[in-house]
Amino acid sequence: SLQFNEVVLEAERLNLGKQIVKRIIKEKKSRAIPKVFQSEVYQQTTMTRYLPEKERDSITLDSYRVEYLNEIAATQFVRGQDYKKIIKAEIKQTADKQLKRFTPMTTGNNFKGSNQFTTYNPLEYFVTPEDFDIDIYDNSFKNKTLSDRPITSPLANTALSNYTYRLKKMDFIAEDTIFTIAVIPLFKGAPLWTGTLEVHSSEYRVTKTDLYYSPGINGFDSLNLKLVYNNENGYNLPTEKRIQYKAKLGRKDFTIKSTYRTSDYIFNSTFKANFFYAEKVRYTEQALKPNADLMLEYRGVALEKDLKVFFTEQDSIYRSITSDEYLQEQDSIFNKITWRKIALEGFGKRRRAIGLTYT
């Protein structure tokens, strides 16, 4: 293959980068988008905390440390604006209690059960299929937490009034030409991306994006959006989405990375009545226990070294505190009878080793 770096081709003041983007915007009107489909999903979120000097290891002197890892293997279903995700496996590890807060579960007025609490991560803002419904061909990117204004896409219908473009590089592979186009906002401080688009000359389709925006609100900063597009049954779809941003939690500085990778598409699926009713995310019974084998199958590649070390450490802690020996020891402490305990709590007995609490 041949490669030219930093190509600037302007004959008679013709901006070739701008001409390519104009062609993409024109072509996108006839771009086919599937309305009904399902696909397999691998989802990963990591959170790395910046360590002040006094907290750093005296030997490694690492300035960053992984404090949160969440992996999900699931099947997602889409029908127009309806979304649903059925989780087959989830492995969630955290070393920071602030990243695992508890909140009451939202229930309807007719709910008859006891009070329920669920955990959530206060910095994890890409969770549901709707959160990851991101396509650079759309006119704007909307996430009110990360930006108080919609961020205009470099391929929006109004993009040529908000951006300028420059052809940075051309790669010649076989009979195809791959253009790398710099995206440059025209207005400082406006909700606009900066970065690059990768475009294949065949059908002038976008294959990759690497875009940045610094919203500077709500303690969030340095938003980076990387999309990878692939041909799925004739549809040019973003099959891998990587979102990174920085955020504060109290005095702690975190870098959050979320990945959403889809595969094995089935188009024009049929669904039972009320399939999309109420719940957006549902857990299967097998997802309630960590399933490393299934997760490895969906992940496809080994975890990076720092994530693997963190996973191993947290997994050993999980196995320890869920072992029969540990639970029996906790039960013996809880079940110890004293007159003060009877007066305050009544008589109760717990056997968490086999999941029982009775009075």
342: left (phi over 0), alpha (psi -120 to 50) or beta: alpha
What is the model's pLDDT at position 106?
A: 45
In this structure, what token pair is assigned to residue 43?
């989802």
- Among 10-19, 24-33, 48-57, 119-128, the range with the most confident prediction by mean pLDDT is 24-33
d(CA 244, CA 299): 19
CA 260 to chain centre: 5
pTM above 0.85, yes or no: no
pLDDT (average), residues 234-239: 93
CA angle 263, 264, 266 (to 5 degrees): 125
CA angle 354, 356, 359 (to 5 degrees): 150
Percent of the chain with pLDDT over 90: 35
CA torsion 246-248-253-255 (nearest 10°) is -30
277 close to 258: Cβ distance less than 8 angstroms:
no
What is the model's pLDDT at position 41?
A: 95
Polymer length in residues for the chain: 359
> How does DSSP classify residue 270?
-
At 196-224, the pLDDT tens digits run: 999 998 888 999 999 999 866 666 788 89
216 close to 196: Cβ distance less than 8 angstroms:
no
pLDDT (average), residues 285-313: 78
- If pLDDT is split at 50, 70 and 90, which confidence band does 347 have? low
Return the higher-pLDDT residue of 1 and 189: 189
What is the model's pLDDT at position 2?
A: 46
What is the model's pLDDT at position 280?
A: 81
pLDDT (average), residues 41-64: 80
187 close to 194: Cβ distance less than 8 angstroms:
no
pLDDT (average), residues 118-135: 82
pLDDT (average), residues 350-358: 49
209: number of Cβ within 10 Å: 24
Provide the terminal-to-terminal Cα distance of the chain, rounded to the nearest Å: 75
Mean of the per-residue pLDDT values of the chain: 80
pLDDT (average), residues 337-351: 57
Question: What's the number of CA atoms in the CB half-sphere (13 Å) around residue 279?
Answer: 10
255 close to 48: Cβ distance less than 8 angstroms:
yes
